[in-house]
């Protein structure tokens, strides 16, 4: 699955930390494609067991943290866990089948 990350239109270059919980019932390769995200900013990508994150060429991966996690099984429990763990959830998306996921990040 390719995860496309771009800033919202009112933000020229996104310069804040981000955390993504990428959960799947089956192990996946998450391919990351980014545009206009400032280098050197901490970004965490936590994936379900057996999954991996692949970064595009460039130095984005140097400031990114990737880690496998055992997530709660049901979405309601995952959302509650994420809120407890990180204090807030700004976006939650569930997809049954997808090859590309487009996410706008920003204020």
What is the pTM assigned to this prediction?
0.90
What secondary structure letter does DSSP report for 49?
T
Long-range contacts of 35-38 (CB under 8 A, 24+ apart): 35/4, 35/5, 35/6, 35/7, 36/6, 36/7, 36/11, 36/12, 37/5, 37/7, 37/13, 37/105, 38/13, 38/14
Q: What is the pLDDT of residues 14-67, one digit of tens each?
A: 999 999 999 999 999 999 999 899 988 999 999 999 999 999 876 677 788 999
Residue 107: band (very low, low, confident or very high) from pLDDT cuts 50, 70, 90: low
Checking if the pLDDT of 87 tops 80, the result is yes
What pLDDT sits at residue 29? 97
What pLDDT sits at residue 59? 64
């Amino acid at each position: 699955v390719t995860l496309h990350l771009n800033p919202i239109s009112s933000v020229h270059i996104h310069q804040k930390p981000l955390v993504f919980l990428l959960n799947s019932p089956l192990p996946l390769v998450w391919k990351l494609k980014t545009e206009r995200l400032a280098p050197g900013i901490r970004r965490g990508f936590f994936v379900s067991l057996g999954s991996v994150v692949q970064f595009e060429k460039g130095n984005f991966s140097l400031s990114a943290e990737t880690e496998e996690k055992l997530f709660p099984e049901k979405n309601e429990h995952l959302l509650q866990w994420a809120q407890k763990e990180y204090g807030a959830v700004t976006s939650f998306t569930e997809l049954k089948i997808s090859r590309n996921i487009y996410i706008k990040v920003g204020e």
